[in-house]
Amino acid sequence: MNIVSAEELVGVDGLKGLSPSGSLSGLSVGFRPGDVAIGDGPLSFDVEVEYAELLGDEVLIHAKRGSTRLVIRAASHTYTGQTSLRVRLDPAKLYWFNTEGEAIRQG
């Protein structure tokens, strides 16, 4: 699970509107490596690729956004060795946490 300070993702269009509190302050966002897609769209942002692990038909891409490290799982044919990528999150697959690390239920 990737867990990122929501404030690290401030520039991501639409993220603030999904926040359980309506603010990104003091929250963290969690998402699984397989729930990140390569490409542009809603909830997309740029990452810097550090290295990639080719695992047959999958690749684990180890990347950074600012000082935060992320892991992205993708089909190997979608990654062609780029050093930076545009990735997007699925809003239905985000997990929110407070400053104590406790999950915040939505809805």
- pLDDT tens for 13-71 read 888 888 888 888 889 999 999 999 999 988 999 999 999 999 989 999 999 998 899 99
Mean pLDDT rounded to a whole number for the chain: 90
* Gap between the Cα atoms of 43 and 35, Å rounded: 12
- pLDDT tens for 69-103 read 999 999 887 777 888 999 999 999 999 999 899 99
Residue 107 has pLDDT above 60, yes or no: no
Class of domain 2-104: mainly beta
Long-range contacts of range 19-24, CB-CB < 8 Å, 24 or more positions apart? 19/96, 20/96, 20/104, 20/105, 20/106, 21/104
pTM of the model: 0.86
Burial classification of residue 63, based on how many CB atoms lie within 10 Å of its CB (0-12 exposed, 13-18 middle, 19 or more buried): buried
Residue 105 has pLDDT above 80, yes or no: no
Q: CA separation (Å) from 7 to 12, 60, 73, 82?
A: 10, 25, 23, 26
